[in-house]
Amino acid sequence: MEDLKDKTALVTGASTGIGAAVAIAFAARGMRLAVHYNSSADAANQVVETIRAAGGTAFAVKADVRDTAAIRACVKETSAQLGRIDVLVNNAGSLVKRVPIAEFDDALFDEVMHINARSVLAFCREVVPLMRTQGGGNIINVTSVAARTGGGPAAYLYAGSKGFVSTATHGLAKELVGDRIRVNAVAPGVIQTPFQDRFSTPAMLENFRASIPMGRIGEPEECVGAFLYLASEQLSGYVTGQVIEVNGGQYMP
């Protein structure tokens, strides 16, 4: 993956979990990183320090992905700090909360869709003109196995928002291919991250585990290979509009 050396990446939601693992893996291949976070400043700074301690280049950038102006400022700061954006990883997301349909309200819909769906388009809207100017780029969206299965208990809204991301990935890939911008997605299954700690009970996790042919919950580091593959022009230069499933066999399309 020598082609990744000296390239730049903005990874959203990179303070913990899969985003942090991806940022550290990118930096280990010589990429320069913008580590995005919203509320987890200490964790984001720890990711930055981990990268710098290994000889890499990284900085932390804050933005609430529900706020379009904050997204615009985040991209502007990243471009100013790194000079260009070769790879955008749209990883930021949240289930927010599990709510039975009888208790669903409009405010929850707006929050989940803004965090998981609208933010992806908003980051793309800001980054694509920069990539066009520099002659190309690479966008990797993060969807979920929930987009295929409908999600766990009372997670239909999260699942729907991730279904949007998967479908939008196909549409963006077709729109941007002429600009030498590839657009793909990674769909993690059940991964042991703070996301699961917050939204899933031990009983839920055991039920998820039982549905996985590999018989275990995945780790964030087990997802990074898909991101490295998609980020590398040498390895995946003829790949666009695809969703790579990383789920231990839980779902096999």
Could you list the active site residues? 158
In three-state secondary structure terms, 142 is strand
223/220 Cα distance (integer angstroms): 6
Instruction: Give kind and range of the element (H or E) at residue 10.
Output: strand 8-11
Structure tokens at 188: 């993690």
C-alpha dist (Å) from residue 85 to 9, 30, 138, 162, 245: 6, 14, 9, 24, 25
3-state helix/strand/coil string of 129-191: HHHHHHCCEEEEEECCCHHHHCCCCCCHHHHHHHHHHHHHHHHHHHHHHHHCEEEEEEEECCE
Chain-centroid distance of CA 1 in Å reads 20
Angle, CA of 55, 61 and 65, to the nearest 5°: 140
Question: Do 123 and 81 contact (CB within 8 A), yes or no?
Answer: no
